Chains A and B, each alone.
Chain A
Amino acid sequence: MGNESARIKFALIGHGESWENIMQYIQTMRLPGNTYDLTLEKVKDIFSYIPPRKIFGIEVSSAINGKMHGVYIETFIAPDELDIAHLRKNMNKVKQACALCAKLKIPVVSLGGFSSIVLEAGNESFTKIEDTFFTTGNSLTAAFITKGVENACAYWQQPLSESKLLIIGSTGDIGTACTLYFSGKVSKLLLCARQAVALQKQSNTLTANGVANSCSIHLKELVAEADIIICVASSIINENDFENINEKVIVCDAGYPKNIQAAHIKNHERLFYGGMGNVTGGYKFENNLETVFYKFPLQTIGHGCLLEAVVLAMNNKFCSFSNGKGKITLKALKDILEMADKHGVKIAPLFNKNLIDERVTEHI
């Protein structure tokens, strides 16, 4: 067991994206001959009571160092319990998962999706437990979002400098990094966030720096003006917010779980999933679970937030690379992309439910 622990270089803490996804995974655990009926309702009854645990090992290939091993730690946070009402319970689950990683002596751990909240809340005590470092993964996510938007603009021939960019969730950690990156690169920033005071402060700072912008806590007021939309928050999106969206608008859905599921946008032609990376050397989950647990149009795609710990481990850079809120610098975005690139972890090709830009497959 000791040797097993030493072999593990990274861990990914996460939670299921949807019940559909969770059910597919759980069905793989049913033993032959088990005749008890397992319905979604029954799974929902017990799912969030399961303590966080390692559920499978991961093997990732670096372009220069070969294979490296890690583990996936599931928090068992229910996908429909990500709201404020379950905050305390969910925070406890993430903390338990962090403690487990420290017990397993894992050098670096990414806090995927909701779980990054323990670090974004400025909880310094969670940047490191014993010899284990925790990172939100937000730097690599933000870096992949920005590059993804640039790639999408090139693909759909939308000049970035002439575009108005709407950032939904602009005051969050990733939103702030995107705002910083695109300041001065687009014709105007349209900012939307839930917290009116923080939003106004962000807008005032940009104005003081000569960056054209407007802001609102009401998404619908900004959508009609946008040429490009980056979405990194779900709580401020209403069903009819996108009803007047122009078909040529490029939409980057970078949330986890996926943010933009409203009827008016989910079949939008120019919608792509952002913040995603492509492990060109490939990765495998224990028992081939990637085929049910983590399905993408290419089986080399992964979330930037999770890949950040992988990239740090590949570079033997064991640290809390991303933590807190609003601390991501342009240098951090550049550095993490370079570290990723060196080991063959690239920006994912444009994709949504399907692969959009298929030219990338030629290079894999």
Chain B
Amino acid sequence: MIQETLTEIIPAEQESVITDLLGQAITGELIGMSNFASLAESIDDIHEKLECVEHANCERGHAEGFMDIAKKFKLKPVINMKGYYWNAVRECFLKYAKAKDFIGCLIIQEVILECFAVSMYHDVGKALDNEIGKLFSAISLEEKEHIEHSIDLLQNELHKDYEGFVNKVERIHNDCMTIMGEWTAEVDLRGHCGVCHGDCMKESLHCAHLDLKAIRGNALNLYMSTLDRIGLPQEKTLLWVMNLPG
């Protein structure tokens, strides 16, 4: 009875786009989970290993939360970790994990991916006036804690070797943010993402009171603000962002 009531409150024109939003969120969380699991396997430090497992479990919880709510609303999102963009993110992360580069992995997962997750979930949460929106908002807040947690650690790294750290973040930005830039571009620069169940959801975001430019802009704002807080040179990070695709 409750389920019937809940499914009825999603307007028909929003059903498709919300399904795709959940598909992207679940896939993204599973990528995050896998990333941390891979990192746990590749690093030697016991404490870092334990922390990675904890983070992986946290992302698993988020993925399950999104899957549960999709089921509750009788939505069938596509979950495809081999879709172009998410697979590219995963391969990018694995490159650093295989090199046992804990800091590199942290920058990809806790800065780049979490900034996009926190900002986008927040925007979706604000736009959807229902239980799904509330879940997005709640997970956004949890993911925010991950960013906060990484900032202290990355500030220490910056102080140890300023130039080396800046160069490292620049390399990672070029590797990973380029993928995120393509993913959030106005048109699919690399073809279909493999997660949207039909045409690209970007064209229908307005049905859920969302605007791609604002979503992308807010995510970039949080990413740049986070780099600022870590202490990276602002004129450089601006230059990096200005060279992103899309």
Contacts and interface: CB of A to CB of B under 8 A. Distances in A.
Interface of A: 1, 26, 29-31, 34, 36, 38, 42, 45-46, 48-51, 53-56, 286
Contacts of A46: 213, 216-217, 220, 241
A56 B235 contact: yes
Interface of B: 162, 186, 213, 216-218, 220-221, 224-225, 228, 234-235, 237-239, 241-246
Given A1-B162, A45-B217, A53 B228 contact: yes
B217 A54 contact: no
A53 B217 CA distance: 16
A29 B241 CA distance: 10
B57 to A, nearest CB: 33
A240 B213 CA distance: 36
Contacts, number: 54
Contacts of A42: 246
A48 B217 contact: yes
Contacts of A56: 235
A284 B81 CA distance: 51
A50 B243 CA distance: 14
Contacts of B217: 45-46, 48-49
A30 B224 contact: no
A193 B104 CA distance: 57
B156 to A, nearest CB: 14
Nearest to B158: A1
Contacts of B162: 1
Contacts of B213: 45-46
Secondary structure dominating the interface of B: helix
26 contacts: A1-B162, A29-B238, A29-B239, A29-B242, A29-B243, A30-B242, A31-B239, A34-B243, A36-B246, A38-B242, A45-B186, A45-B213, A45-B216, A45-B217, A46-B241, A48-B217, A49-B221, A50-B220, A50-B224, A50-B238, A51-B221, A51-B224, A53-B228, A55-B234, A56-B235, A286-B235
Contacts of A45: 186, 213, 216-217
Nearest to B233: A54
Contact of B242 (A1, A26, A48): A26
Nearest to B224: A51
Contacts of A29: 238-239, 242-243
A95 to B, nearest CB: 14
Interface centre among A31, A49, A54, A55 (most CB of B within 10 A): A49
A286 B216 CA distance: 30
Nearest to B242: A29
Contacts of B225: 51
Contacts of B241: 46, 50
A46 B242 CA distance: 9
Given A45-B213, A46-B220, A48-B217, A53 B235 contact: yes
A38 B243 CA distance: 9
A50 B246 contact: no
A54 B232 CA distance: 11
Nearest to A72: B235
Contact of B228 (A1, A51, A55): A51
A51 B238 CA distance: 9
B149 to A, nearest CB: 21
A55 B216 contact: no
